Amino acid sequence: MKLKIAVLPGDGIGPEVTAQAVKVLKAIAQEFDHSFQFKYAPVGAVAIDETGDPLPKETLDLCKATDAILFGAIGDPKYDNNPDAQVRPEQGLLKLRKELGLYANIRPVKAYDTLLDKSPLKKQFIKGTDICIYRELTGGIYFGEKTLSEDGNTASDLCVYSRSEIERITHLAFKSAQSRKRKVTLVDKANVLESSRLWRKVVTEISQEYKDVKLDYLFVDNAAMQIILNPRQFDVILTENMFGDIISDEASVIGGSIGLLASASVGDYFAMFEPIHGSYPQAKDLGIANPIASILSAAMLLDHFELFEEAELIREGVERSLKLNITTPDLNTKFNHISTTKVGDFIEDFI
Amino acid sequence: MKLKIAVLPGDGIGPEVTAQAVKVLKAIAQEFDHSFQFKYAPVGAVAIDETGDPLPKETLDLCKATDAILFGAIGDPKYDNNPDAQVRPEQGLLKLRKELGLYANIRPVKAYDTLLDKSPLKKQFIKGTDICIYRELTGGIYFGEKTLSEDGNTASDLCVYSRSEIERITHLAFKSAQSRKRKVTLVDKANVLESSRLWRKVVTEISQEYKDVKLDYLFVDNAAMQIILNPRQFDVILTENMFGDIISDEASVIGGSIGLLASASVGDYFAMFEPIHGSYPQAKDLGIANPIASILSAAMLLDHFELFEEAELIREGVERSLKLNITTPDLNTKFNHISTTKVGDFIEDFI
Ligand SMILES: CC(C)[C@H](C(=O)O)[C@@H](O)C(=O)O
Ligand SMILES: CC(C)[C@H](C(=O)O)[C@@H](O)C(=O)O
Query: How many angstroms away from the CA of A194 is the closest CA of chain B?
Result: 6
Active site residue A212: no
The residue whose CB lies within 8 Å of the most ligand 1 atoms, and thus the one to mutate among A91, A93, A134, A280, is: A93
B120 with B248, same domain?
yes
Which ligand 1 atom lies nearest to the CA of residue A249?
11
The residue whose CB lies within 8 Å of the most ligand 1 atoms, and thus the one to mutate among A80, A94, A102, A245, is: A245
User: What burial class does residue A334 get, using C-beta atoms within 10 Å of its C-beta: 0-12 exposed, 13-18 middle, 19+ buried?
Assistant: exposed
Percentage helix, strand, coil for chain B under 3-state DSSP, each rounded to 5: 45, 20, 30
Averaged pLDDT, A59-75: 96
Q: Do B90 and A153 touch (CB under 8 A)?
A: no
Is there a contact between A133 and A239 (Cβ–Cβ < 8 Å)?
yes
pLDDT per residue over A93-108, tens digit each?
A: 999 999 999 999 999 9
Q: Of A215, A245, A313, A14, which is closest to residue A107 (Cα–Cα)? A: A245
Boundary-marking domain end, from A258, A286, A311: A258
Statement: residue B221 has pLDDT above 90 = yes
DSSP B159-207: EEEEHHHHHHHHHHHHHHHHTTTSEEEEEE-TTT-HHHHHHHHHHHHHH
Is there a contact between B277 and B293 (Cβ–Cβ < 8 Å)?
yes
B275 with B308, same domain?
yes
Distance of CA B85 to the CA centre of its chain: 26
For residue A277, give the CATH number of its domain. Answer: 3.40.718.10
Domain membership of residue B105 (yes or no) is no
Is there a contact between A17 and A11 (Cβ–Cβ < 8 Å)?
no
Number of domains in chain A: 2
Statement: residue A275 has pLDDT above 80 = yes
Cα-based angle A209, A214, A219 (whole degrees, multiple of 5) = 110
Q: Do A144 and B156 touch (CB under 8 A)?
A: yes
Domain membership of residue A70 (yes or no) is yes
Q: Do A146 and B194 touch (CB under 8 A)?
A: yes
Question: What stretches of A130-288 adopt beta strand conformation (E)?
Answer: 130-136, 146-148, 154-162, 183-188, 214-219, 236-239, 262-266, 271-275
B244 with B273, same domain?
no
Query: How many angstroms away from the CA of A310 is the closest CA of chain B?
Result: 32
Domain membership of residue A264 (yes or no) is no
Instruction: Tell me which chain A residues have a C-beta less than 8 angstroms from the C-beta of B80.
Output: 190-191, 217
Domain membership of residue A152 (yes or no) is yes
Q: Do B192 and A225 touch (CB under 8 A)?
A: no
Instruction: Compare B103 and A258 and report the one with higher pLDDT.
Output: B103
Query: How many angstroms away from the CA of A126 is the closest CA of chain B?
Result: 9
Maximal CA-CA distance, chain A: 62
Q: Given pLDDT bands bounded at 50, 70 and 90, which one contains residue B255?
A: confident
A251 with A124, same domain?
yes
Which ligand 1 atom lies nearest to the CA of residue A245?
11
Domain membership of residue B20 (yes or no) is yes
Averaged pLDDT, B329-346: 88
A234 with A284, same domain?
no
Instruction: Tell me which chain B residues have a C-beta less than 8 angstroms from the C-beta of A141.
Output: 141, 159, 192-193
Instruction: Compare B78 and B240 and report the one with higher pLDDT.
Output: B240
User: What burial class does residue B52 get, using C-beta atoms within 10 Å of its C-beta: 0-12 exposed, 13-18 middle, 19+ buried?
Assistant: exposed
Q: Do B158 and A158 touch (CB under 8 A)?
A: yes
Encoded amino acid at B154, one letter: T
Share of chain B above pLDDT 90, in %: 89
B151: DSSP letter: T
Q: Of B165, B184, B328, B172, which is closest to residue B264 (Cα–Cα)? A: B172
pLDDT per residue over A203-240, tens digit each?
A: 999 999 999 999 999 999 999 999 999 999 999 999 99
CA A165/CA A199 separation, integer angstroms: 10
pLDDT per residue over A291-343, tens digit each?
A: 999 999 999 999 999 999 999 999 999 999 999 999 999 888 777 789 999 99
Statement: residue B87 has pLDDT above 80 = yes
Q: What is the mean pLDDT of chain B?
A: 95
CA B285/CA B273 separation, integer angstroms: 22
The HSE-up count of residue A344 (CA atoms within 13 Å, CB side) is: 25
B349 with B213, same domain?
no
Sheet architecture: strand order including B2-10: B35-40, B2-10, B68-73, B271-275, B262-266, B104-110, B130-136, B236-239, B183-188, B214-219
Instruction: Tell me which chain B residues have a C-beta less than 8 angstroms from the C-beta of A245.
Output: 189, 220-221
What residues flank ligand 2, with Cβ below 6 Å?
A 191-192, 221; B 74-75, 90, 93, 245
Residue B83, pLDDT score: 67
A245 with A203, same domain?
yes
Q: Do A253 and B204 touch (CB under 8 A)?
A: no
Q: Of B21, B2, B44, B3, which is closest to residue B271 (Cα–Cα)? A: B3
Phi and psi, residue B90, nearest 5° = -60, -30
Helices (H) and strands (E) in chain B, counts: 13, 12
Residue B207, pLDDT score: 98
Q: Of A132, A221, A143, A117, which is closest to residue A185 (Cα–Cα)? A: A132
Dihedral angle, C-alpha A224, A228, A231, A233, nearest 10 °: -60
Q: Do B249 and A189 touch (CB under 8 A)?
A: no
Query: How many angstroms away from the CA of A28 is the closest CA of chain B?
Result: 33
- Measured in Å, residue A41 CA sits from the centre of ligand 1 at 20
A325: DSSP letter: T
pLDDT per residue over A77-133, tens digit each?
A: 888 777 677 899 999 999 999 999 999 999 999 998 888 888 899 999 999 999 999
CA B55/CA B44 separation, integer angstroms: 7
What pTM was estimated for this model as a whole?
0.95
B126 with B255, same domain?
yes
Instruction: Tell me which chain A residues have a C-beta less than 8 angstroms from the C-beta of B185.
Output: none
Boundary-marking domain end, from B260, B285, B315: B260
Maximal CA-CA distance, chain B: 62
Domain membership of residue B106 (yes or no) is no
Q: Do A159 and B158 touch (CB under 8 A)?
A: yes
Going A316 to A318 to A319 to A324, the CA torsion angle's sign is positive
Q: Atom 3, ligand 1: which residue's CA is nearest?
A: A90
What residues flank ligand 1, with Cβ below 6 Å?
A 74-75, 90, 93, 245; B 191-192, 221
Boundary-marking domain end, from B236, B260, B284: B260
Which ligand 2 atom lies nearest to the CA of residue B245?
11
Residue A83, pLDDT score: 67
Q: Which residues contact B89 (CB under 8 A, 6 or more apart)?
A: B10, B11, B44, B45, B47, B48, B54, B74, B75, B76, B79, B279
Which residues, listed in sequence order, are joined to residue A184 by a DSSP beta bridge? A215, A236
B254 with B320, same domain?
no
B210 with B282, same domain?
no
CA B328/CA A168 separation, integer angstroms: 45
- Measured in Å, residue A245 CA sits from the centre of ligand 1 at 7
pLDDT per residue over B133-177, tens digit each?
A: 999 999 999 999 999 999 999 999 999 999 999 999 999 999 999
Q: Which ligand is located closest to the Cα atom of residue B272? A: 2
Instruction: Tell me which chain B residues have a C-beta less than 8 angstroms from the C-beta of A221.
Output: 245-246, 248-250
Residue B256, pLDDT score: 80
Please report, for residues A94, A324, A329, A341, the alpha-carbon distance to residue A338 in angstroms, rounded to integers and kept in the order given: 34, 12, 7, 8
Domain membership of residue A263 (yes or no) is no
Active site residue A142: yes
Statement: residue B16 has pLDDT above 80 = yes
Give the residue on B whose Cα is nearest the Cα of A117: B122
A–B interface: beta-carbon pairs under 8 A: 188
Is there a contact between B189 and B196 (Cβ–Cβ < 8 Å)?
yes
Residue A318, pLDDT score: 96
Give the residue on B whose Cα is nearest the Cα of A124: B120
- Measured in Å, residue B196 CA sits from the centre of ligand 2 at 21
Cα-based angle A190, B197, B263 (whole degrees, multiple of 5) = 50
Annotated binding-site positions of B for Mg(2+): 221, 245, 249
Active site residue B245: yes
pLDDT per residue over A231-267, tens digit each?
A: 999 999 999 999 999 999 999 999 888 889 999 999 9
- Measured in Å, residue B241 CA sits from the centre of ligand 2 at 10
Averaged pLDDT, B316-340: 89
B62 with B202, same domain?
no
User: What burial class does residue B324 get, using C-beta atoms within 10 Å of its C-beta: 0-12 exposed, 13-18 middle, 19+ buried?
Assistant: exposed
Active site residue A61: no
Q: Do A242 and B83 touch (CB under 8 A)?
A: no
Instruction: Tell me which chain A residues have a C-beta less than 8 angstroms from the C-beta of B157.
Output: 158-160, 193-195
The residue whose CB lies within 8 Å of the most ligand 1 atoms, and thus the one to mutate among A55, A80, A88, A90, is: A90
Domain that holds residue A233: 109-258
B85 with B155, same domain?
no
CA B46/CA B90 separation, integer angstroms: 12
Residue A258, pLDDT score: 86
Active site residue A245: yes
Residue tagged active-site, from B221, B268, B285, B323: B221
- Rg of chain A, C-alpha, whole Å: 20
Is there a contact between A105 and A138 (Cβ–Cβ < 8 Å)?
no
